[in-house]
Amino acid sequence: GKLIVLRSIEMNLDLRGEGDMEPKSLRQLDLVLGAFHSSLRRTDDQTERYLRAIRNPHVHILGHPRGRIYNYRLGLAADWSRVFAEAARLDKAVEIDCYPDRQDLNLALLKLAKQEGVRVSLGTDAHHAWQFEFIELGLAAALKTRIPPERIVNFLPLSDLLRWSSSTTKKNRVSRA
pTM for the whole structure: 0.91
Q: In what order do the strands lie in the sheet with 119-123?
A: 8-13, 31-36, 61-62, 93-97, 119-123
pLDDT at 177 > cutoff 50 = no
pLDDT digits (tens, 9 = 90+) for 11-59: 999 888 889 889 999 999 999 999 987 666 677 778 898 999 999 999 9
Burial of 51 (0-12, 13-18, 19+ CB in 10 A): middle
Are 51 and 82 spatial neighbours (Cβ–Cβ below 8 Å)?
Answer: yes
pLDDT at 71: 77
Domains of the chain: 8-176 (3.20.20.140)
- Which alpha helices (H) appear in 56-134, and where do they start and end? 80-89, 107-116
Give 166's contacts (C-beta < 8 A, 6+ positions apart): none
CA atoms of 83 and 87, how far apart (whole Å): 6
pLDDT at 170: 66
Query: Which of 87, 91, 96 lies closest to 139 in space, CA to CA?
Result: 96
pLDDT at 172: 56
CA atoms of 29 and 50, how far apart (whole Å): 22
pLDDT at 41: 65
State the average pLDDT for the chain: 89
Q: How far is CA 15 from CA 39, 50, 113, in A?
A: 8, 9, 23
More confident residue, 170 or 165: 165
Q: 31 φ, ψ to 5°?
A: -140, 140
pLDDT at 176 > cutoff 60 = no
